[in-house]
């Protein structure tokens, strides 16, 4: 049973389909059928007319931004409506956006698991080739040294930190855009801005309500 906040993303491949609604209603029904009966709310529905072969889709970027702002889950009718490119699905994972495919609710874990297996196989092949190259170099009399394990570990830690920093920066930028709109509506103080964010249903990064201090931190990050 579905629970929580959702952003619905619907996609058709041609302008003709988008204008006629052909395909959209079926997708919309699939999403509604999946969510039916749960404690949920669809915050927004985003429709895009674009080929699935492209990953630079502005409406999908908009949907991801809404997911980050509201701490929501991206829901799609069919897995192929998201992307035919597994690397793009990994992008979703790196951005920290959860997604559900109505026709295959377990796809999230399934896809990540498959990609993890592929990555593991690639690492194994790279490791095998590296060991073979080192052995060949050693046979030629080349002196080998250095703590490669420690270097890789440091690189992995640095990449992990970079992902977290990037996520925080992306969300801060998203929130900064909303803050600009709130200011344009007349809000002046940090408290008024916090109230504006709360009234729009946008949670903090940890899912709570906004305070003046938290607003000031976001503004400092985006200054």
Could you list the mean pLDDT of each consecutive 10-residue stretch along the chain, which spans 223 residues?
78 61 79 80 85 67 90 82 54 74 71 56 71 76 55 68 80 89 92 93 88 90 79
The three-state secondary structure class of 5 is strand
CA 214 to chain centre: 23
* Count of domains observed in the chain: 3
Q: What is the rounded CA–CA span in Å between residue 88 and residue 54?
A: 10
pTM of this structure: 0.61
Enclosing domain of residue 200: 147-223
CB 52 within 8 A of CB 13: yes
Q: Are residues 220 and 135 in the same domain?
A: no
Q: Are residues 161 and 134 in the same domain?
A: no
Q: Are residues 99 and 57 in the same domain?
A: yes
């Amino acid at each position: 049973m579905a629970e929580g906040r959702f952003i619905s993303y619907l996609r058709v491949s041609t302008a003709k389909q988008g204008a006629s609604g052909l395909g959209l209603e079926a997708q919309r029904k699939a999403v509604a059928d999946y969510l039916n009966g749960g404690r949920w709310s669809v915050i927004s529905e985003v429709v895009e007319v674009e080929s699935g072969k492209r990953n630079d889709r502005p409406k999908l970027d908009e949907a991801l931004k809404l997911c980050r702002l509201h701490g929501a889950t991206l829901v799609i009718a069919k897995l192929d409506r998201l992307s035919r490119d597994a690397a793009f699905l990994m992008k979703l994972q790196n951005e920290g956006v959860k997604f559900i495919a109505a026709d295959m609710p377990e796809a999230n874990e399934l896809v990540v698991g498959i990609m993890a297996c592929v990555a593991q196989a690639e690492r194994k092949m790279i490791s095998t080739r590296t060991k073979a190259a080192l052995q060949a170099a050693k046979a030629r009399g080349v002196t080998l040294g250095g703590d490669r394990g420690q270097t890789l570990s440091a690189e992995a830690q640095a990449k992990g930190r970079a992902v977290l920093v990037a996520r925080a920066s992306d969300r801060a930028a998203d929130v900064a855009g909303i803050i600009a709109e709130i200011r344009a509506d007349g809000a002046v103080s940090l408290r008024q801005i916090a109230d504006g964010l709360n009234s729009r249903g946008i949670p903090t990064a940890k899912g709570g309500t906004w305070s003046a201090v938290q607003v000031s931190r976001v503004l400092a990050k985006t200054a």
